[in-house]
Amino acid sequence: MRKKLVAGNWKMNQNSIGISEFASKLLTKLQNSQPNSDILICPPFVYLPQLTALFEGSSVQIGAQNVSNNSKGAFTGEVSAAMLTDIGLRWCIVGHSERRKFNHETDEELIQKMELLFAEKINPIFCCGETLPDRNAEKHFEIVQQQIESTLCAMTTNIVETITIAYEPVWAIGTGVTASKEQAQEMHAFIRDLIGKQFGDSIAQNTHILYGGSVTAENAQELFSMPDIDGGLVGGASLKADSFFQIINNCK
Ligand code: PEP
């Protein structure tokens, strides 16, 4: 049975005062509950040490939102996988649609990032998902299949085993429009099937597939109750301890 994971992607939000308040609220709430999910928060790079210190010894893990596709050297402004390991991280988001769009990340770069993360024993959360025009043209399965085939299917089994997939329809990210539980479930089942065909049923059954796109305290329960949805990658609703905790609590 796959344990659910609720991962917060803070994007370029929060500040150090807000983070202290968030941490003390969330820790208090977690003290009085027994969450059924793993919990992860991915803040901007500069806040990684602060968050790591605040949540040390708790069930909350900390991860990065991005990593360089180069291992070291003259790449101004970049952060390497080895640096993430150096500060004790075990998770990193790869290929978020905002980075694909604004930073023009290519499949080749995403593969390089995941290989470097694997070498550092960091688990990638690999994002995929179609745009609204793709969905309206009923090309969503084709697009997601192509995103998976050109990255994960080009990698070795031992790396793919460490990867969590996040299905994030671009039209649902930050829009307040969520995929219905049926839309999300059919895509998650489709992705699991693709992984099964390439890497075998056991790896497919062990792969976590998160849903992302306007997850809230109100809709998390029905989404997370679907058989192939193993938790969520949560943007806006992860910024407030109250709503993030309620989403965590919706994992049964
Ligand atoms: C995200 O940042 O990956 C995301 C899904 O954002 P939101 O929950 O705000 O739609």
Distance 168 CA to ligand 1 centre (A): 8
Structural domains of the chain, with CATH: 4-249 (3.20.20.70)
The confidence score (pLDDT) of residue 32 equals: 85
Per-residue model confidence as pLDDT tens for the chain (252 residues) = 899 999 999 999 999 999 999 999 999 999 988 888 999 999 999 999 999 999 999 999 999 999 999 999 999 999 999 999 999 999 999 999 999 999 999 999 999 999 999 999 999 999 999 999 999 999 999 999 999 999 999 999 999 999 999 999 999 999 999 999 999 999 999 999 999 999 999 999 999 999 999 999 999 999 999 999 999 999 999 999 999 999 999 887
The amino acid sitting at 138 is E
- Active-site choice (96, 140, 188, 208): 96
Q: Which of 216, 233, 240 for a ligand 1 pocket mutation test, highest count of atoms within 8 Å of Cβ?
A: 233
Our answer to whether residue 140 is catalytic in this structure is no
Crossing angle of the two packed helices 181-199 and 140-149, in degrees rounded to 10: 40
**Nearest ligand 1 atom, CA 97:** 3
The confidence score (pLDDT) of residue 251 equals: 81
Sheet holding 231-234, edge to edge: 60-62, 37-42, 4-9, 231-234, 209-212, 164-167, 123-128, 91-94
Taking phi over 0 as left and psi of -120 to 50 as alpha, with beta for the rest, 138 belongs to left
- List the structure tokens of 229: 């949805």
Contacts of 233 (CB under 8 A, 6+ apart): 7, 9, 93, 125, 127, 166, 168, 210, 211, 212, 215
Name the closest-CA residue to atom 8, ligand 1.
235
The amino acid sitting at 68 is S
Pairing type for strands 37-42 and 4-9 reads: parallel
Coil, helix or strand at residue 233: strand
The amino acid sitting at 65 is Q
129 lines ligand 1 (CB under 6 A): no
**Nearest ligand 1 atom, CA 166:** 3
- Active-site choice (98, 109, 168, 208): 168
